[in-house]
């Protein structure tokens, strides 16, 4: 009973002590009786702390807000810097490839091989499939920096080779063009894989750059050719673009905050350790996680079901099944747009176009190439405005354009001026569909939740290989059409 009474009697005292502590009063010493002097010091310190606490908190909040603003500014600067870097990389990765396409008709004519223009197009992508497959293999053995250097070296040798091919022969021109195309394919697969460590918005920067390569490459060729420069001189002048490409990657581009997300040991080998880091680096709040890739596993994938890693050919086949939808649609669109923009564009005005009194008809092939690349630039820069998930709709639209262009060439319905301007407009539409397919396909791949993060780079490489299949198919189609129903048009 007395214990209960004492406890009851002590309760108000404890409350008073608590109140004293809140006020920083002398009761604080009795709560911290380490020593009389120390207790007094603590009491005085407590009084000072509590009396000035609100001001300290305000100062800390202001300092924290200032640091946050500085950090936000730094991130904004880094974001724009990386956007520009990927824009430059996209531009100069594809610049030489576009110049070759723009020069195809002139190069073929210089070797009296007009009927083999499709072969020049094939040479531009001939090693593309091999280059992309080699890049997927090199991901386990070479750093991204080393692979970018390989792309630059291939481009430099290719430019120089085309420049001197007039003194060697048509076969040497084909070989050199193959190096230029291999550089573009290798670099594209490498840098698309590198983008997995950055926000999805930078895929749009890369896409805009590749679109600018189309416009810039064709415009530069058209301007220099109009100024009287030969094909050899134009390709010599293309060499400095290799230096800009290297500068953009090695010097200007800010590397991801977590090197482990892209290291050879973790990122390229598909280690599970960096999956969360890669996810955080890649996505932002404005980007939805999509589930497009089929994540269904067949009876032969028991090891994956049980969480055991698969390797080699088995892993490649599993990833290939995941991205079949992307690959087939991308290849179909590339096949249609390359048949249109190369073979059908070359015959769009018939064999008398060179003698036409109209400047636009005489230069219709180069202008059509520019129109196509202009459409590609617009649509590859539209990712922040237009996002397409059902990419098969773009496939259907591009196949309709193929049918329309084949009809135009066979019938000669739009020969001469001013009808040639209708062709220019239609070619812009072809570029719009093609560029929209490209940028949306790879943007969707970076956020598709049906693809494991450890397999994402391999899946991107596999889809990029479908591009080469589409272009090679287009080259073969161009050759068949030139020797059959379009033989009278050139």
What is the DSSP annotation of 182-203?
Answer: HHHHHHHHHHHHHGGGS-THHH
Largest CA distance in the chain: 121
Average pLDDT over residues 223-248: 93
pLDDT at 314: 87
Looking at per-residue confidence, does 15 or 354 come out higher?
354
Nearest CA among 384, 190, 200 for reference residue 282: 200
Average the pLDDT over each of 52-66, 177-191, 446-460 and give the range with the smallest value: 52-66
For the ranges 189-193, 220-224, 365-369, 426-430, the maximum mean pLDDT occurs at 426-430
- Domain enclosing residue 60, as ranges: 2-68
Domain boundary among 41, 68, 95: 68
Q: How many CB atoms lie within 10 A of CB 189?
A: 30
Looking at per-residue confidence, does 93 or 23 come out higher?
93
- Note if the bond before 11 is cis, omega within 30 degrees: no
Q: Is residue 363 part of a domain?
A: yes
pLDDT at 293: 58
Express each pLDDT in 330-382 by its tens digit: 999 999 999 998 889 888 887 766 667 788 888 888 788 889 988 988 998 88
pLDDT at 250: 94
Alpha carbon 121 to its chain centroid, in Å, reads 23
Q: What CATH number does residue 400 fall under?
A: 1.20.1250
Looking at per-residue confidence, does 442 or 350 come out higher?
442
Q: Does the pLDDT of residue 160 top 90, yes or no? A: yes
Q: How many CB atoms lie within 10 A of CB 350?
A: 18
Rounded Cα distance, 442 and 205, in Å: 12
Q: Is residue 307 part of a domain?
A: yes
Q: Is residue 40 part of a domain?
A: yes
DSSP 3-state of 362:
helix
Q: Is residue 86 part of a domain?
A: no
CB 298 within 8 Å of CB 361:
no
Average the pLDDT over each of 40-49, 196-205, 372-381, 394-403 and give the range with the smallest value: 40-49
DSSP letters, 298-359, are: -GGGHHHHTT----HHHHHHHHHHHTHHHHHHHHHHHHHHHIIIIIIHHTTT-TTGGG-S-H
CB 106 within 8 Å of CB 225:
yes
CB 457 within 8 Å of CB 357:
no
C-alpha R_g of the chain = 32
Q: Is residue 236 part of a domain?
A: no
pLDDT at 483: 87
Q: Is residue 32 part of a domain?
A: yes
Q: Does the pLDDT of residue 55 top 80, yes or no? A: no
CA torsion 203-294-391-194 (nearest 10°) is 10
Q: Does the pLDDT of residue 17 top 80, yes or no? A: no
Residue carrying the six token digits 């059509």:
368
Dihedrals φ, ψ of 241, to 5°? -65, -25
Average the pLDDT over each of 36-40, 128-132, 155-159, 310-314 and give the range with the smallest value: 36-40
pLDDT at 427: 95
Nearest CA among 189, 90, 172, 173 for reference residue 130: 189
Cα dihedral across residues 384, 386, 388, 392: positive or negative: negative
Domain total of the chain: 2
Burial tier of 404 (Cβ tally within 10 Å: 0-12, 13-18, 19+)? middle
Average the pLDDT over each of 60-64, 163-167, 328-332 and give the range with the smallest value: 60-64
pLDDT at 29: 41
Measuring CA to CA, how many Å separate 383 from each of 229, 441, 442? Answer: 37, 11, 11
CB 424 within 8 Å of CB 371:
yes
Q: Does the pLDDT of residue 5 top 60, yes or no? A: no
Domain boundary among 68, 84, 102: 68
CB 361 within 8 Å of CB 420:
yes
pLDDT at 85: 94
pLDDT at 265: 39
Alpha carbons within 13 A on the beta-carbon side of 268: 19
Q: Is residue 320 part of a domain?
A: yes
Rounded Cα distance, 75 and 83, in Å: 12
Rounded Cα distance, 157 and 222, in Å: 23
pLDDT at 292: 59
Average pLDDT of the residues of the chain: 76
CB 93 within 8 Å of CB 128:
no
pLDDT at 348: 84
CB 349 within 8 Å of CB 193:
no
Q: Is residue 419 part of a domain?
A: yes
Residue carrying the six token digits 């021109």:
173
Domain boundary among 38, 68, 98: 68
Q: Per-residue confidence at 257, pLDDT binned at 50, 70, 90?
A: low
Q: Per-residue confidence at 310, pLDDT binned at 50, 70, 90?
A: low
Q: Does the pLDDT of residue 451 top 80, yes or no? A: yes
């Amino acid at each position: 009973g007395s214990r209960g009474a004492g406890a009851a009697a002590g309760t108000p005292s404890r409350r008073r002590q608590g109140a004293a502590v809140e006020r920083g009063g002398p009761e604080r010493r009795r709560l911290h009786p380490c020593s009389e002097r120390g207790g007094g010091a603590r009491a005085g310190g407590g009084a000072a702390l509590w009396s000035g606490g609100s001001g300290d908190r305000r100062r800390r909040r202001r300092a924290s807000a200032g640091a946050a603003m500085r950090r936000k500014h730094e991130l904004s600067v880094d974001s724009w810097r990386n956007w520009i870097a990927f824009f430059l990389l996209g531009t100069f990765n594809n610049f030489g490839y576009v110049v070759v396409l723009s020069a195809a008709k002139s190069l073929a004519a210089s070797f009296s091989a007009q009927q083999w223009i499709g072969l020049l197009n094939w040479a531009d992508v001939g090693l593309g499939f091999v280059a992309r497959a080699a890049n997927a293999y090199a991901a386990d053995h070479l750093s991204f920096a080393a692979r970018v250097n390989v792309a630059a070296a291939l481009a430099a040798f290719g430019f120089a080779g085309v420049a001197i091919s007039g003194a060697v022969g048509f076969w040497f021109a084909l070989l050199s063009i193959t190096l230029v195309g291999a550089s573009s394919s290798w670099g594209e697969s490498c840098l698309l894989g590198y983008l997995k460590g950055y926000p999805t918005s930078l895929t749009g920067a890369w896409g805009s750059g590749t679109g600018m390569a189309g416009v810039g490459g064709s415009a530069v060729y058209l301007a220099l050719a109009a100024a009287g420069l030969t094909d050899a001189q134009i390709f010599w002048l293309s060499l400095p673009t290799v230096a800009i490409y290297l500068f953009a990657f090695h010097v200007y581009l800010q590397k991801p905050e977590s090197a482990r997300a892209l290291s050879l040991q973790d990122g390229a080998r598909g280690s599970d350790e960096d999956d969360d880091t890669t996810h955080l680096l890649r996505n932002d709040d404005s980007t939805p996680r999509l589930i497009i890739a089929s994540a269904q596993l067949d009876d032969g994938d028991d090891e994956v079901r049980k969480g055991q890693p698969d390797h080699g050919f088995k892993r490649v086949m599993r990833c290939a099944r995941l991205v079949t939808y992307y690959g087939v649609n991308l290849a179909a669109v590339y096949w249609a747009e390359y048949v249109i923009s190369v073979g059908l564009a070359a015959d769009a005005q018939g064999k008398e176009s060179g003698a036409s009194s109209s400047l636009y008809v005489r230069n219709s092939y180069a202008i059509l190439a520019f129109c196509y690349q202009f459409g590609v630039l617009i649509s590859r820069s539209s990712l922040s405005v237009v996002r397409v998930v059902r990419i098969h709709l773009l496939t259907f639209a591009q196949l309709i354009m193929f049918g329309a262009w084949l009809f135009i060439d066979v019938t000669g319905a739009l020969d001469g001026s001013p009808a040639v301007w209708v062709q220019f407009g239609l070619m812009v539409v072809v570029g719009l569909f093609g560029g929209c397919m490209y940028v949306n396909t790879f943007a969707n791949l970076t956020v598709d939740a049906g693809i494991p993060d450890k397999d994402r780079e391999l899946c991107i490489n596999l889809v990029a290989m479908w591009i080469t299949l589409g272009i090679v198919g287009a080259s073969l189609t161009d050759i068949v059409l030139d020797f059959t129903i379009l033989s009278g048009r050139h």
